[in-house]
């Protein structure tokens, strides 16, 4: 879900902008797709046949009686409420949300898109990548992902090389926040807990010089630099390991018109006066139930 937020907020418009609050695009979204999660998955428990949630005059609802692991098959486990091993808690409150039809998907194609396609459409032109990489330090100081081929085998695992308007562009992917190490092994889908987000990425890119020569993809680089300038200090964490995912989305959205999604360099809405840190969960705790036996084991084991 957060992936969709960044997708819509980051580079999804027609071109780069200049300083002074001017708009740089038509508000269209970028060229990467998103997926939706099954609302019946996770910790959502199913009500028993003998109890139904009902609303009162104030709009609140009585809590359904729940048993089992929330799989939705109606079976009970140890007799405790909520998930297996958990006693009564917040998961027992609220209104039961029935299952809705879900779109079919191809896990293999989804995993390929994750590792090779343009999640963020703008980025660094391939020809400039060797010059830019030293300036951004830890943001690019990660090993390649085993199993990738071509130019993607030459960039860190959390960057993708993809084509945009005929030019090869290097941009970040979901693994910036959703891949981590355990016992020295890179695990795709594990929330990042060791990355250093205490540096201001806008200051890193401020030292990058854009050559005045016709390099393919240069306009996408200009747009990318404008986005990093917008992020600035609001997305700097106080400690290593905390994650700015939520505030990145909030900051990018605050630079867009709420009706047209048009981008402006100057803030259109105020930002919270606090450091908002996130803790990305492992994907296998937020998966769609239809993917549990096919997509995720393949995705997890694909990164030795």
Q: Please provide residue 55's backbone torsions phi and psi, each rounded to the nearest 5 degrees.
A: -85, 155
The predicted structure's pLDDT at residue 24: 53
Tens-place pLDDT, residues 193-219: 888 888 887 787 777 777 777 788 888
Q: How crowded is the C-beta side of 203, counted as CA atoms within 13 Å?
A: 8
Whole-model pTM? 0.63
For residue 10, pLDDT over 90 is answered with no
Q: Which has the higher per-residue pLDDT, 218 or 67?
A: 218
Distance CA 115, CA 68 (A): 36
Mean pLDDT (whole number) for 251-273: 91
For residue 73, pLDDT over 80 is answered with no
For residue 36, pLDDT over 70 is answered with no
Other CB atoms within 10 Å distance of the CB of residue 226? 22
In DSSP terms, 171 is beta-bridged to: 160
DSSP string, 125-166: EGGGHHHHGGGGGGGT-SPPPTT--GGGGGS-TTEEEEEETT
Q: Minimal CA–CA distance to 99: which of 55, 47, 40?
A: 40
For residue 133, pLDDT over 80 is answered with yes
Q: Which residues contact 161 (CB under 8 A, 6 or more apart)?
A: 116, 126, 150, 151, 152, 154, 155, 168, 169, 170
Task: Please state, in angstroms and as integers, the Cα–Cα distance from residue 160 to each residue in 23, 56, 122, following that order.
Answer: 27, 51, 11
DSSP structural state of residue 264: B
For residue 45, pLDDT over 80 is answered with no
Instruction: Look at phi and psi of residue 189 and say left if phi exceeds 0, alpha if psi is from -120 to 50, else beta.
Output: left
- pLDDT tier at 107, thresholds 50, 70, 90: confident
Q: Which has the higher per-residue pLDDT, 55 or 261?
A: 261
- pLDDT tier at 154, thresholds 50, 70, 90: very high
Q: How far apart are the two ends of the chain, measured CA to CA in Å?
A: 26
Task: Please state, in angstroms and as integers, the Cα–Cα distance from residue 123 to each residue in 120, 183, 217, 254, following that order.
Answer: 7, 32, 8, 20
The predicted structure's pLDDT at residue 297: 41
Mean pLDDT (whole number) for 229-257: 88
- pLDDT tier at 12, thresholds 50, 70, 90: low
The answer to whether 27 and 80 are in contact (CB under 8 A) is: no
DSSP structural state of residue 45: P
Distance CA 304, CA 299 (A): 10
């Amino acid at each position: 879900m957060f992936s969709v937020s960044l997708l819509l907020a980051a580079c999804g418009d027609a071109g780069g902008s200049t300083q002074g609050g001017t708009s740089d695009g038509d508000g269209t979204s970028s060229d990467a797709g998103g997926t939706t999660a099954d609302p019946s998955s996770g910790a959502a428990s199913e009500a028993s046949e003998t109890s139904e949630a009902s609303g009162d005059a104030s709009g609140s609802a009585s809590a359904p009686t729940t048993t089992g692991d929330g799989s939705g098959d109606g079976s009970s486990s140890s007799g405790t409420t909520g998930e297996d091993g958990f006693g009564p808690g917040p998961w027992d409150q609220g209104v039961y949300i029935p299952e809705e039809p879900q779109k079919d998907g191809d896990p293999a194609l989804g995993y390929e898109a994750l590792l090779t396609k343009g999640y963020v459409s703008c980025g660094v032109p391939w020809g400039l990548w060797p010059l830019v990489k030293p300036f951004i330090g830890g943001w690019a100081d990660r090993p390649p992902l085993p199993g990738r081929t071509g130019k993607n085998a030459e960039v860190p695992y959390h960057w993708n090389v993809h084509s945009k308007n005929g030019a090869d562009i290097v941009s970040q992917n979901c693994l910036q926040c959703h891949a981590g190490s355990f016992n020295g092994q890179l695990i795709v889908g594990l929330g990042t807990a060791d990355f250093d987000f205490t540096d201001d990425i806008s200051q890193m890119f401020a030292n990058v010089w854009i050559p005045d020569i016709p390099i393919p993809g240069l306009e996408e680089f200009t747009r990318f630099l404008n986005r990093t300038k917008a992020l600035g200090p609001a997305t700097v964490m106080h400690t290593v390991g905390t994650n700015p995912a939520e505030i990145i989305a909030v900051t990018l959205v605050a630079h867009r018109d709420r009706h047209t999604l048009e981008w402006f360099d100057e803030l259109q809405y105020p930002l919270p006066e606090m450091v908002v840190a996130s803790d990305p969960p492992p994907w296998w705790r937020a998966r769609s139930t239809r993917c549990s036996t096919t997509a995720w084991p393949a995705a997890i084991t694909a990164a030795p």
